[in-house]
A and B are shown apart, each in its own frame.
Chain A
Amino acid sequence: MNYIPNILFAVALIVGIGYFAKNVKKLIRNIKLGHDVDVSDNTSQRWKNMAMIALGQSKMVKRPIAGFLHIIVYVGFIIINIEVLEIIIDGLAGTHRIFSGIGPLYGVLIGAFEVLAFLVLVSVIIFWIRRNVVKIKRFWANEMTSWPKNDANYILYIEMVLMLLFLVMNATDLKFQEMNNGNVISQFIAPWFSGLSDGTIHIIERSAWWLHILGILGFLNYLYFSKHLHILLAFPNTYYGKVKPKGELDNLESVTNEVKMMMDPSIDPFAAQPESAEAPAKFGASDVQDLNWVQLLNAYTCTECGRCTSECPANQTGKKLSPRKIMMDTRDRLEEVGKNIDANGGTFKEDGKQLLDDYITREELWACTTCNACVEACPVSIDPLSIIMEMRRYLVMEQSAAPMELNNMMTNVENNGAPWPYNQMDRLNWKNE
């Protein structure tokens, strides 16, 4: 017996999965560069969010056309993977269509896969047309430079090829076509090859089979480098996403401690600091390490669909701010920091760069109206607003770099208890006016 294909298959599988696992470890390490944040609350609500938003795609269908097509591709992706299980067993054991022994149900299953594969193919082609022919605005915004555009198209091409290979593999499987059970779509492709000898058809079938599984392993490894990571990270991201009302911003605990000290007359401000006292934490964020790990997970989860940006009032009126760019910049900088750590034996070496200014400009940050439209629009519970707020906090509290008008407003709040220079003692004057 010839074991070479089995061994080759096992090697491909180990290399494919092994390299992916290595990158997942790197991904987790990068995400953990963020601050810790307590996400142990509201577990039942969190599971519900994951079930509804990620599994149930509830936010995708807010835009019905894209939502419907996405559900086809998503369901296809999950269900067709049952077939991958068969391919893996066949590949390792040297069997052929090992599940076909289960009887007529096999035909029903494969038939369903074929229909889905066809629908996925059609959907993916429509997606490609929407991006490249119809040129829907959100796919052509400023932050959609060459890599984001190419990345999106590569994903579509890979999916097209994988679906075609699956259908060709079935169409050229002479035994399977003879069974005439489950070849719902492939029976129409089979005649394309009818002029060829059985031997040639067999070679085509084997090639399609190998390319299909190698393609899947390749695609798996492409994820880490691509926006397509969302197919995995949407699940944890919707679980860890915000469960509080959208309007609620966190109260910075480090500030609370300082404010309490200021308000407490019993504290001696001149008392010597205990030796163990830590240097006060930085307020807000100027780089990715200042963000929390959920915000960094958000960045890796973003699939650059641009729904946030298309709903953003600042972006709609021509300002530079784009919530999608905030997420893309955060990921790009995080990747850069990760590579820096890899290159320097596990520790970050100062590179003179940061998320603020080198990636995200102040003009973008100050254009935000905090309206939460981006947060509402995101189909996978990403919160770009929280990153904008952290960076504003850094600008104001660490750098005193607020726009002048805002400094005036804040001086008024501080002195008069109102954002304008009115006297607090006049607050009830309206009553007699």
Chain B
Amino acid sequence: MSNTTLKVPTMAEYMAEGKQPEVLFWVGCMGSFDDRAKKVTKAFVRLLNKANVDFAVLGTEESCTGDPAKRAGNEFLFQMQAVTNIEVLNAYEIKKIVTACPHCFNTIKNEYPGLGGNYQVMHHTQFLKSLLDEGRLTVEGGQFKGKRITFHDPCYLGRANDVYEAPRDLIRKLDAELVEMKSCKSRGLCCGAGGAQMFKEAEPGNKEVNIARTEQAIDVKPQIIAAGCPFCNTMMTDGVKAKDKESEIEVMDIAELIANAQDL
């Protein structure tokens, strides 16, 4: 991996120069603070830098979208977060947002418009796909050529917003062997983190949801489980560890696959 420093301009810096970026990269709480997800954030930034995308982040002006609060039932806290974020976004006259978190994606895309925040919102897999389609980024299989990869559909990208193909198209571009789990696409099994479950112990049962999902993945004997959500990434990584399969199966975000394929 090259050590070229990342170019991560903030909106404040753009504003100072009187310029407007092409797109705002909404990093999200996981992408900002979680050690595993930060690697995904950086991989995505390397790709944005490589493709010379004129982007900016909010940096310290970004705050939680309010998704976990809303799904926990705290509509007050959600709307406080939403209104605050929308004020910041509108002040910067943001038109287009890309994010690597399907929860942020869903919330900003679907729940912010009713509160005065109207933006074109893309998941990073959709955005990367468009960069490829426009010829701004090229992908070669590299180290992933011929590897068995299964994609775990994030609920908030798939069922919630009907995005199934963009991440799969990207995997195919790697000349990898894309294998589907028993439950996939609209019937994909949840990783167990959604609806604020990430932040609490599960109710009593006979199994953890992430274990059930990991077992489905292991059944198709992948070398890599591809994720498109930092929460799913954590849950699947934990699942693989619990099943003692760390030496055989890696859990990687699609952005990491694309970036690593070109040794970025």
A contacts, CB < 8 Å to B: 244-252, 255-256, 258-260, 262-263, 283-284, 311, 313-314, 316-321, 363, 366-373, 375-377, 389, 392-397, 402-403, 405-406, 408-410, 413-414, 417-420, 422, 424-431, 433
Contact of A262 with B80 in the complex, beta carbons under 8 Å: yes
The closest CB in chain B to the CB of A423 belongs to: B60
Contact of B190 with A313 in the complex, beta carbons under 8 Å: yes
Contact of A405 with B200 in the complex, beta carbons under 8 Å: yes
B contacts, CB < 8 Å to A: 6, 8, 10, 27, 29, 31-33, 38, 41-42, 57, 59-60, 62-64, 66, 68-77, 79-83, 106, 109-111, 114-115, 155-156, 159-162, 186-187, 189-190, 192-209, 211-213
Q: A320-B203, A372-B155 are in contact. Are A417 and B74 (CB under 8 A)?
A: no
CA A413 to CA B76, docked complex, whole Å: 12
Q: Which residues of B contact A406 (CB under 8 A)?
A: 72, 196, 199-200
A-B contact count (CB 8 A): 216
The closest CB in chain B to the CB of A400 belongs to: B74
18 A/B residue pairs, CB under 8 Å, sorted by A: A247-B106, A263-B80, A313-B190, A318-B205, A367-B202, A369-B209, A370-B194, A371-B190, A372-B159, A373-B187, A373-B190, A389-B73, A396-B72, A397-B75, A408-B199, A422-B33, A427-B27, A427-B62
Contact of A369 with B192 in the complex, beta carbons under 8 Å: yes
Contact of A259 with B79 in the complex, beta carbons under 8 Å: yes
Contact of A284 with B73 in the complex, beta carbons under 8 Å: yes
CA A426 to CA B59, docked complex, whole Å: 9
CA A42 to CA B189, docked complex, whole Å: 30
Q: How far apart are A320's CB and chain B's nearest CB, in angstroms?
A: 7
Q: How far apart are A253's CB and chain B's nearest CB, in angstroms?
A: 9
CA A336 to CA B161, docked complex, whole Å: 37
CA A427 to CA B31, docked complex, whole Å: 9
The closest CB in chain B to the CB of A361 belongs to: B203
Contact of A256 with B199 in the complex, beta carbons under 8 Å: no
Q: A376-B187, A406-B72 are in contact. Are A371 and B159 (CB under 8 A)?
A: yes
Which of B10, B111, B196, B202 contacts A409 (CB under 8 A)? B196
CA A396 to CA B160, docked complex, whole Å: 24
Q: Which residues of A contact B10 (CB under 8 A)?
A: 428
CA A402 to CA B41, docked complex, whole Å: 31
